[in-house]
Amino acid sequence: MNDFWSGVGVDLHLEPDGAEGRRAGLERALRDAVRDGRLAPGTLLPATRRLAAELGISRNTAKAAYDQLVAEGYLTARQGSGTQVASLPSADATAPDVAARTRAPRLDLRPGSPDVGAFPAAAWLRALRRAIATAPSLAYDYGDPRGRIELRTALSGYLGRARGVLAPPERIVITSGYVQGLALLTRVLDGAQVAMEDPGLPFHREVVRRNGGSVVPVRVDERGVRPQDLGGGDVSAVVVTAAHQYPTGVTLHPERRRALTDWARARGGLIVEDDYDGEFRYDRQPVGALQGMAPGQVVYLGTASKTLGPGLRLGWMVLPPPLVDAVADAKLHSDHHTESIGQLALAELIDSHAYDRHVRACRLRYRRRRDQLLARLGARRGVRGVAAGLHALVEVADETEILARAEAEGLAVGHLGEHWHTAGDEPRPQGLVVGYGTPRERVYPEALEVLGKVLEGG
């Protein structure tokens, strides 16, 4: 019988001569197989004649079992189509409110992602082919926890010319994205107090906490993070988004840059620079990375998530010399090393300058989107943080009211309220955090129109 049922990929655990009787046993076995998913919806069951012959039962018994399960809704039977497993309601069908809360929005202007539809698939495939064709056999073995030397060398040149980062290959560690880099560094700092921007991304604060660090808020104003608020306490590191603060969009003022690096030198502190979208500057030359001012005090964290796509899970750390070995050791005992073939493909993409061309094309695309956002909202509404990056802050009087209207229209946006370290009773600025990288090109104009309608109360 097991050989017979292997045709539909299931063992019915049927005992035809059991105490419950042949028909009842067959009904029970089929019912259980449908309920637990071993017989998937749409599976075609054997004809009753064949089933009876294989099980050594009468055809009437087999037909009666099928008929009973059709009546119960477990099976369907149509003339000429045979007997199939029916589609049963899922366990979530009794909770429509939960399903409504978790379904994808019709229009998505949440920040945090690029337009993944713009991924340079053809260029990546060419780079991947060349990388595989020239890769040594050892590329498929366990590798250096710091990452492939080919990628570290390519990044050394790219980061120097594009972001002003002093990045010798021996000071670079390749990670599986920014989050892993932040986690590894927190482990190395071993219980340190880490100052993080307020407002800032809650998920990153949780990464620090879960890896043994304690989080201290440091305020952000119109000139960026406030080094004077670091005080004389036990803070040993501060995480900043200097080029385009998340979520306010401000760029760290030059005086603040100097004050922050002075604090690090005087206190022996560490600056952790999250340069998540530093390549995207629109109205003037890109502001160089903070790391170039104080390479001995700054850990630079970069990623391909915003330029290529977060699905690649490729990031990099440029470390002061005393931290390199400790971070590499933490990486070794985390996941040994980031997968090698993707590293080789990215190195090829950078060395062939296809990466630069892609970034330039994306910069033009996102600038057009930024300009469309300003054209739709700028005349009526305060829109901040638009000189760079993939998101803008739109000032509003009442986040709760605006978000309710947006949800009713099927529009998802971010908001400042979810980024503060604590709820607090004091009045705080309110605003929507609008990501203009996320939507596909064809739906972006509609998303802007709906956003305008929501903000205007229409």
Per-residue pLDDT tens digits for 159-216: 999 999 999 999 999 999 999 999 999 999 999 999 999 999 999 999 999 999 999 9
User: Which CATH architecture does the domain made up of 107-116+357-456 adopt?
Assistant: Alpha-Beta Complex (3.90)
Of 458, 435, 430, 450, the residue nearest 376 (C-alpha): 450
Checking if the pLDDT of 64 tops 80, the result is yes
Cα dihedral 179/182/183/184 (nearest 10): 120
If you average pLDDT over residues 83-107, what whole number do you get?
A: 62
Q: What pLDDT score does 13 carry? A: 60
User: Which CATH architecture does the domain made up of 118-355 adopt?
Assistant: 3-Layer(aba) Sandwich (3.40)
Per-residue pLDDT tens digits for 206-235: 999 999 999 999 999 999 999 999 976 789
Question: Which residue reads 């980031």 in tokens?
Answer: 338
Checking if the pLDDT of 20 tops 90, the result is no
In three state form, how does the secondary structure of the chain look?
CHHHHHHHCCCCCCCCCCCCCHHHHHHHHHHHHHHCCCCCCCCECCCHHHHHHHHCCCHHHHHHHHHHHHHHCCEEEECCCEEEECCCCCHHHHCHHHHHHHCCCCEEECCCCCCHHHCCHHHHHHHHHHHHHHCCHHHHCCCCCCCCHHHHHHHHHHHHHHHCCCCCHHHEEEECCHHHHHHHHHHHHCCCEEEEEECCCHHHHHHHHHCCCEEEEEEEECCEECHHHHCCCCEEEEEECCCCCCCCCCCCCHHHHHHHHHHHHHHCCEEEEECCCCCCECCCCCCCCHHHHCCCCEEEEEECCCCCCHHHCCEEEECCHHHHHHHHHHHHHHHCCCCHHHHHHHHHHHHCCHHHHHHHHHHHHHHHHHHHHHHHHCCCCCEECCCECCEEEEECCCHHHHHHHHHHCCEEEEEHHHCCCCCCCCCCCCEEEEECCCCCCCCHHHHHHHHHHHHHCC
On average, the pLDDT of the chain sits at 89
Instruction: For residue 119, report the phi and psi dihedrals to the nearest 5 degrees.
Output: -55, 130
Domain with CATH 3.40.640.10 in the chain: 118-355
In this prediction the pTM is 0.78
User: Which CATH architecture does the domain made up of 2-85 adopt?
Assistant: Orthogonal Bundle (1.10)
Question: Which residue reads 């409110």 in tokens?
Answer: 97
Q: What pLDDT score does 232 carry? A: 66
Strands 315-318 vs 172-175: parallel, antiparallel or unpaired: antiparallel
Measured distance CA(173)–CA(151) in Å, rounded = 10
Instruction: For residue 73, report the phi and psi dihedrals to the nearest 5 degrees.
Output: 95, 5
Domain with CATH 3.90.1150.10 in the chain: 107-116+357-456
Per-residue pLDDT tens digits for 119-129: 999 999 999 99
Measured distance CA(390)–CA(110) in Å, rounded = 10
